[in-house]
Structure 1
Amino acid sequence: MKILNLDEICRQLISSAPRQLEPGHPLGTRLLSVEYSKSAKEIKTYPLLSSQRIFFLCWDFCGRNQLRAAMYPAPDRFCYRFAFESGAKTQRHTHDYIELGYVVKGNFRQNISGKDIVFHEGDVCLIDKNCIHQDYLSCQDSLVLFFGIENNMFEEVINEHITTEKIITFLQTALMKQNYLQQYIHFHPAANARKEIEPCLSLLLTELYENKTGASYICRGLLLRIFKILSTDYDFSLTREQQKNISWSVFEEVCSYIQTHYQSVTTRELMERFHFQRDYFNRLIRSKTGMTYSEYLQSIRLEQAKRMLIETDLTISEIAEQTGYHNKGYFYRIFTKKYNMTPGEYRKFI
């Protein structure tokens, strides 16, 4: 397929679909479910095989309350045509995968976590997999792309260290299993951002449409480029509440890991696991505890040493080793400084 500009390629992919589905068809309603309840929430699962790690959905609002939609790759290519009433919205829903939205033409309005947001041409919205949102169906001529990214592929991409620390903070939080913060990021393009990102999006659409051998590897590379562009050529901001929630979630994850691996944990190990710069851990822990990373780790080790002195018959040398201190003299010194008695005195006193 010839690589066209993004607007042209989107509409060509829709118009080239061999099947035209009528309103109410099960495949069509999978792509677009109009609001039927103010309180119900749909959970949209990843629609492809695990070997197909990314897909895109294109919505073409043709005016006169008409919508055409298509999804690729798909085992059976089709276009879904739908007429809607003015003011129509989709049903409130979440995904079990990450969604990246891009406004190719016109404007697009969503309600995300109870907040109405208007996205303009060139804007990007990254929505985490637990975030409740709802789409407004536009009466104006507009074109919107949605990319569904399988969670493992998304994690591989962000682990390449191509984005800024602030974006990684959000992305890492979105992937934490216990996270239900319902977060999103709204990216605003800088002056030349569209010239950078739209050729990558066009190539990505072409690969997903043709779905040839090796497409998944090419798509992964294109996603790396796209996230790099988002990091360098787009502006974004998080609300104070979002920053607070994300910070606490990351802090809990980091501290849980330190407490489990206190004997041998290093900042390099934390960098490799959580993908932040070394200074980030110091700032994070100080903001929540008032202690530096070293002070926090030492407090955990000494608490474990106290527990062992009370609950075990291990020698003090063995306790020092098991709490990460290979220099017995240093262990004695910091223990005595903190508790105003030696480890031996503490064991007898308790």
Structure 2
Amino acid sequence: MMTLSALDQYLKQYTHEETQRLNGIKKDYSKFSLVKGKFDAPCYRFDTDLEDLRSLFLSKKVLPSYYNFAVVKQDRFENVPLHIHEWLELGYVYSGSCTMTINNNTFELKAGQMILISQNAPHSVKRCSKNDIIINFLLSREYLNGTFFERLSQENYLTHFFIEALNTTMQTSRYIIFSPEKQNRLADLANQFLCEFYSPSITSGPFLDSLFTLITCEMINLFQHDMVLDHSSVDQIYTILRYIETNSAHCTLSSTAEFFNMHPNYLSAYIRQHTGTTYKELVQTQRLSQAAKLLRSTALSTNDISLAVGYQNTSFFFQLFRKKYGCTPMEYRNRAHTSDTTHIN
């Protein structure tokens, strides 16, 4: 894997396209169609598919053959005009700064920040200097549907809640800026990803996949933190969801209401209002998710797991588990182990 100092040297090198810009050769955008609508400037549709991108950027060695998302170092020495595209774009400011306009909102991003831009959001980028290095992750719909949100939201309802809130924010503002403070784990993870990406090891595929999942998790953490700071109602529902997640094996509606000094009926209505589901469904989802995790990672018997997650009646636990996962707990464990063995081989 490439070292951080080697990565820094690599990213600061001029690409062929950047050398052309410095020599006065501008990029030709005439091949892209114009989007109809009321814009302050012509808006292009970048409709090149990922296969075309693989060929287009092959000389830069920025696209993997393993993924259905692209990693592109942005050309520094040109104004990127107003445009839209079908990919969801995650921009990472590796160094320097970047001035961007989205939906007529202009702002400056600084080193260490990331911005998530929704599909078909009109945006443009001003010309950068040689010290301004921006890396763009372009994520396809296939990647989004298969990994980006679904894998994380299956683990527990709390994560699902924040992913839904993140999606709602994206639909409204069309972008989200992530600004880590103090220790910037987001930048650390992104830099590790780029080191592996540009100098892949024998285990590059799963390594990159895991790192990008961690990047996604850290973005959710930062988004969650901002929501809690900005909205007291979200702060309250977040605290309640965290309590249920931690105490799902033993808590009841009455005990949870007592802990938060609420009437049980009020708590039940409050949870339904903010999550669209009932207290009972929340607890059940958390218990079954925890049971699935124990089946995957431990050798505990199904009876012991049933008791551990809060079900005294094993038959009832089996019934709920089959309804959620479409198989018995033992079948689920066997499938998980078979999958792990196949992956290793």
Query: TM-score under structure 1 normalisation?
Result: 0.49
More strand, by proportion: 1
TM-score, normalised on structure 2? 0.49
Greater Cα radius of gyration, structure 1 or 2? 1
